[in-house]
Amino acid sequence: MKVADAQKDQTALQGLIRIFENMIVQAVEATASTAFEPLMVIDMRFGMFAAFIISLRADGTVYGIPRPLEVEEAHQIPATRLRTPMCAYRKKKTQNWIVCSEGRLKEKVSEPEFEVVESVLDYGLTLPENDRLTFVRLWHAFLGRLTSTDSGQDYNRVIFVVDNGDVVPIIEQSIPLVGEKIDKSKGDSKWQSALVVCIDATLDISGFAFLNTPRDLQVSQGLYLLLRGESSAVEAAFEDSQFSYASMQSIALSKYHKIAVVGIITPAVIPQNTLYFPNEDQFQNACLTGYLHWWLQIDGRRVEELRQRYILLEQQLATKKKETEGLVGLLNRLKTVLQHINQQ
């Protein structure tokens, strides 16, 4: 074969490879765009505050990028933290809360001119109904710190994750007030349309680590194996949008769609249907991201629950407006009577 012919073939081959690569990228993008938009997640479970962006890799797998928070450490030293307790303090009779570490909080506890809060959400629950503004200011102190380095360009939606259902209403009620302060947008704030997801401490979400690509979510049923320690094998069965778990005595590896291994050994080669998590933290992150990913595929039941809540609120508002009309009538009658008396 002549050299020129060989070069031609080479060029043609490179062209074909580029076309093929382009097709793969388009296929991955098409898969991703049907089911996934990047999310800002504010995880407030276990009394801690952590934020991260969930995004997609080119292969369609989901991953989290931490978004650090700046807090005031002991001796007033500023420090950046990926996960921090929800502590804050302020000088009494002032409005500005300062987000701080536990160490800094201990310093401030002994100073009587300061007011301290060990857990922002617990404190929010103790406030009376008509004092939502205090919580809003406190809440804004936290979220404002987070967004000081945040342009809001790398996510489309915000999700708050809590493990106590009682705090859901106070977060939901404060979002409209805090939202526009955070991204300074009027009427179209990502924060104002934030979702609040409650993952109760009793809810086992470990199976959701298996749902870590948009394609995984399209399945209606699956059988997975979780190896999370040398003597622990748990079968996670996904059916009708729910996971159920069973401990396994004997294992037939071939029957599982996927196998997850958490930090037991470092396999030299990871088999195709195996997810390997080097440590428990990475596994927990995968569980949470998988769960949120699944949660966003809002099912009809959740929509119906929210619709019922909307109808109830509409009825409550109608009743309240009738009450207000009654009060207006009473107020006017009293004013008329008093006018008559004063004229006599």
Partner 1 sequence: MQRNNLSEYLELQHAVRTLQIELQNEDAVQQQMREQIAGLHNRLKASFAEYWPPLRERQVE
53 binds partner 1 (CB under 8 A): no
Of 46-54, 243-251, 278-286, 317-325, which part binds partner 1 (CB under 8 A)? Answer: 317-325
Angle between helical axes of 167-183 and 132-147 (0-180°, round to 10): 50
131 binds partner 1 (CB under 8 A): no
Q: How many residues sit in the footprint of partner 1 (CB under 8 A)? A: 40
Of 78-86, 112-120, 200-208, 326-334, which part binds partner 1 (CB under 8 A)? Answer: 326-334
Contacts 24+ apart (CB under 8 A), 26-31: 28/58, 28/59, 28/60, 31/60, 31/214, 31/215
Q: 10 Å Cβ neighbour count for 40?
A: 23
195 binds partner 1 (CB under 8 A): yes
CB of 303 to partner 1, least distance (A): 5
CA dihedral sign, ordered 148, 48, 282, 200: negative
CB of 324 to partner 1, least distance (A): 6
325 binds partner 1 (CB under 8 A): no
Secondary structure (3-state) at 324: helix
The residue among 62 and 105 lying less far from partner 1, judged by its C-beta, is 62
The residue among 82 and 330 lying less far from partner 1, judged by its C-beta, is 330
Of 78-86, 144-152, 191-199, 253-261, which part binds partner 1 (CB under 8 A)? Answer: 191-199
323 binds partner 1 (CB under 8 A): yes
133 binds partner 1 (CB under 8 A): no
13 binds partner 1 (CB under 8 A): no
166 binds partner 1 (CB under 8 A): no
Q: At 76, list the tokens.
A: 């007033």
Q: Which of 21, 172, 239, 281 binds partner 1 (CB under 8 A)?
A: 172
316 binds partner 1 (CB under 8 A): yes
DSSP one-letter string for 74-139: GGG-EEEESEEE-EEEEETT----EEE-HHHHHHHHT-TTEEEES-HHHHHHHS-TT-HHHHHHHH
CA dihedral sign, ordered 260, 262, 263, 264: negative
